[in-house]
Amino acid sequence: SCQGSTMEVVLLQGMLLLLPLVALLLYWYNATFHYFCKMAFFNCWIVTMATLLSPFAALRGRSVENMKLLRAAILPLKHFYGIKMQVWGSEHLNIKEPYVIVCNHQASLDLLGMVEVIPDRCVPIAKKELMYMGTVGWACWLSGIIFINRHKREDAIDVISQTARIIRRENLRVLIFPEGTRNQEKSMLPFKRGAFHLAVQAQVPIFPIVISPYWDFFSSKDKKFTPGTCTIRILPKVETQGLSPKDVPELTETVRRAMADALAEMSANRCGEQRAEQPLLPRC
């Protein structure tokens, strides 16, 4: 009986020793396991950094300056994942006046692109649900992120109106994902008009930003997450001076068309590069 118990302990210890090896083998040879490990690390990193930084941010109180802490915490992630960032047109953002940034939205990975280009005194507009995500929500609130209730139109309109009033007074830049939800398709979803109403009400320019498709290195659908290159293109500003609310639908469509054209061009260029590297690949 004593010998049997000893054998069970030895077997248990052996299995426990094998677990890290099995996990390592799965990480290297199973793409799905590899994907979930990387996503788990991504989420753990965000939660940990938010928890560690919140007390320091709280000393300053709710302030857009705390965005610098969040940005510094997220920037190193690209190195862990082997993602190379290429930014085109960053000189467009070198103006001191307030403005609105609109950007396409593909996945949580957009955070890496966002912190790569986000200028000083810039806050995103985020869904209100984020505010209730523990220390992450607390860190976002302390950083001055503006929360919007997407399910209540009147509340959303109020937030846009309030933001339009303070954007010039406090020299703020505001970043919005006008598609309203994540989209990993090759074309953009129809744009919601909130960002464009905001820019017109505040009479500030719009800067469209396009992040290239992730499909060659990341896909939540196919459970793929490998090293790769992400290109971010900042388009020239679109002026709103003299425009009124009746101009918003046309303004929205003009900006969407410019961003969709840029996305299509970036996709074609990326596909061409891949085919040059691997001529046997099927057509994109």
Neighbours of 197 (CB within 10 A): 19
What is the C-alpha separation between 169 and 248, in angstroms, rounded? 23
Q: Determine phi and psi for 97, rounding to 5 degrees.
A: -80, 165
- Residue 260 sits in a domain whose CATH number is 3.40.1130
What is the C-alpha separation between 110 and 102, in angstroms, rounded? 13
Beta-carbon contacts of residue 144 (< 8 Å; ≥ 6 apart): 62, 63, 64, 66, 67, 123
CA-to-CA separations, 112 to 8, 82, 139, 205, 220, in angstroms, rounded = 47, 12, 17, 24, 16
Q: Give residue 26's pLDDT.
A: 67
pTM for the whole thing?
0.86
Residue 7 in domain: no
To which H or E segment does residue 22 belong? helix 2-29
Residue 223 in domain: yes
Residue 237 in domain: yes
Q: Give residue 104's pLDDT.
A: 94
Q: Give residue 163's pLDDT.
A: 92
CA-to-CA separations, 243 to 160, 161, 172, 206, in angstroms, rounded = 17, 16, 20, 12
Tally of structural domains, the chain: 1
Residue 218 in domain: yes
- Domain, as residue range, for 108: 19-274
Residue 5 in domain: no
Q: Give residue 143's pLDDT.
A: 94
pLDDT tens, residue order, the chain (284 aa) = 555 566 666 666 766 677 777 666 666 778 888 899 999 999 999 999 999 999 999 999 999 999 999 999 999 999 999 999 999 999 999 899 999 999 999 998 999 999 999 999 999 999 899 999 999 999 999 999 999 987 888 888 899 999 999 998 999 999 999 998 777 777 788 999 999 999 999 999 999 999 999 988 999 889 999 999 999 999 999 999 999 999 999 999 999 999 999 999 988 876 666 655 555 554 55
Q: Give residue 283's pLDDT.
A: 53
Q: Give residue 9's pLDDT.
A: 63
Residue 280 in domain: no
Residue 133 in domain: yes
Q: Give residue 31's pLDDT.
A: 82
Q: Give residue 269's pLDDT.
A: 75
Q: Give residue 15's pLDDT.
A: 67
Residue 282 in domain: no
> 52 by DSSP, 3-state: which?
helix
CB 229 within 8 A of CB 247: no
